[in-house]
Chain A
Amino acid sequence: GDSVTQMEGPVTLSEEAFLTINCTYTATGYPSLFWYVQYPGEGLQLLLKATKADDKGSNKGFEATYRKETTSFHLEKGSVQVSDSAVYFCALSAGSGTYKYIFGTGTRLKVLA
């Protein structure tokens, strides 16, 4: 069945460091791919999305490119801030006719000043 695999956390970085959180997926058809962020005590917020191969989603300095050939959607940011400390979830929504989201296990990011 469909699945999402994320790198295990926690990831601890110094402020202004480069961030990569790996995400790979398995899906039939052509899923849409998402990154969500969850701050302490809150629900999930959509960070960015990509709906077809080679699309690049971007928001707040974060980027991820939909790579169909490697079935990946890695999250990157050039310079992290303390305020980026949160849990990041990679997710997919399978193609037409399926309305279920599959989430990865989440990666906790801690940024130190």
Chain B
Amino acid sequence: KAGVTQTPRYLIKTRGQQVTLSCSPISGHRSVSWYQQTPGQGLQFLFEYFSETQRNKGNFPGRFSGRQFSNSRSEMNVSTLELGDSALYLCASSLGGSGGVYNEQFFGPGTRLTVL
């Protein structure tokens, strides 16, 4: 079974631009979560989608948004990029049910975003 894939793996943008990152979950997984990883803040939860609906959201500004498609693939968008948005963005998928094995998350390799 293929793992979680993320594209692109590396991205360089300039301040003020916008960016879209893509995540393809493991086949059969209906939940996709996004995280931002930086050396200073560690892993911070952005949001989680399940069956095309945002089910949970972290404390990030509205510049960060996402969506999920009917095939469970997810995209994350960041508008008006700031230098502080430079980070590794990780996507994780899970079956998405409640408790136990259903919420075990499997991570992709991440997209390294650099904002200049």
Contact A99 to B55, CB < 8 A, known contacts A32-B100, A51-B100, A105-B42: yes
User: Digit string of B54-85 for contact with A (CB within 8 Å is 1, else 0)?
Assistant: 01101000000000000000000000000000
A49 in contact (CB, < 8 A): yes
Please name all residues of chain B whose beta carbon is closer than 8 Å to the beta carbon of A34 when the two chains form the complex.
104
**Count of chain A residues near B, Cβ 8 A:** 24
The closest CB in chain A to the CB of B49 belongs to: A99
Contact A100 to B42, CB < 8 A, known contacts A43-B109, A51-B99, A51-B100: no
Please name all residues of chain B whose beta carbon is closer than 8 Å to the beta carbon of A98 when the two chains form the complex.
56
- A49 near B104 (CB under 8 angstroms)? yes
The number of inter-chain residue pairs (CB within 8 angstroms) is: 60
Nearest CB on B from A111, distance (A): 21
The answer for the CA separation of A42 and B6 in the assembled complex, in Å, is: 12
- B90 near A99 (CB under 8 angstroms)? no
B: contact size bracket: 20 to 34
Partner of B108 from the list A32, A43, A105 (CB cut-off 8 Å) is A43
- Which stretch (A12-20, A70-78, A88-96) binds chain B? A88-96
The answer for the CA separation of A32 and B4 in the assembled complex, in Å, is: 22
Please name all residues of chain A whose beta carbon is closer than 8 Å to the beta carbon of B55 when the two chains form the complex.
99
Partner of A99 from the list B35, B42, B103 (CB cut-off 8 Å) is B103
